[in-house]
Amino acid sequence: MRYNRSVPPCAVIPVLHYPSPKEAAEWLQKAFGFTVRLRIENHRIQMRAGDGCFTIAEGGGMPNRSCTVQVRIEGAREHCERARNAGARIVDEPLDAIYGERQYNAEDFHGHRWNFTETLADVDPESWGGTPVNL
């Protein structure tokens, strides 16, 4: 696979629409700790989320609630408080799951849904009813 510095190396790159990409980038940095990777004039901004990426694109429509962006983090409880203090609506408080993750769900200022997940332990999927396939 070829590499292009103008495009994130991630295999999957969600594109989220906001009325103002600049305003969205500033809020997402403050609330969730994402960082700007690349600005494309005034209509698109590539953001880093850990070793993943997503793009903010200009667009005024309301977000489609059929999709949630999941982001791996450290310190879910602290991350949740940071998000809350920045104005995120916490949909579900941090909760420890049987599959070894601590997760919480938030909605940003424009209505996009986010799931933040922190790994607590390496748990065998068969112990909680999962079926490993090509792990």
pTM listed for this prediction:
0.90
Handedness of CA 78, 83, 86, 91 (dihedral sign): negative
Residue 74: its pLDDT value, please? 95
Question: How many CB atoms are closer than 10 A to CB 92?
Answer: 11
**DSSP structure class, residue 2:** -
Structure tokens at 94: 């941090």
- Tens of pLDDT along the chain (135 residues)? 677 887 777 778 899 999 999 999 999 999 999 999 999 988 999 999 999 999 999 987 777 778 899 999 999 999 999 999 999 999 999 999 999 999 999 999 999 999 999 999 999 999 999 998 987
Task: Give the containing element (helix H, strand E) for 102.
Answer: strand 101-107
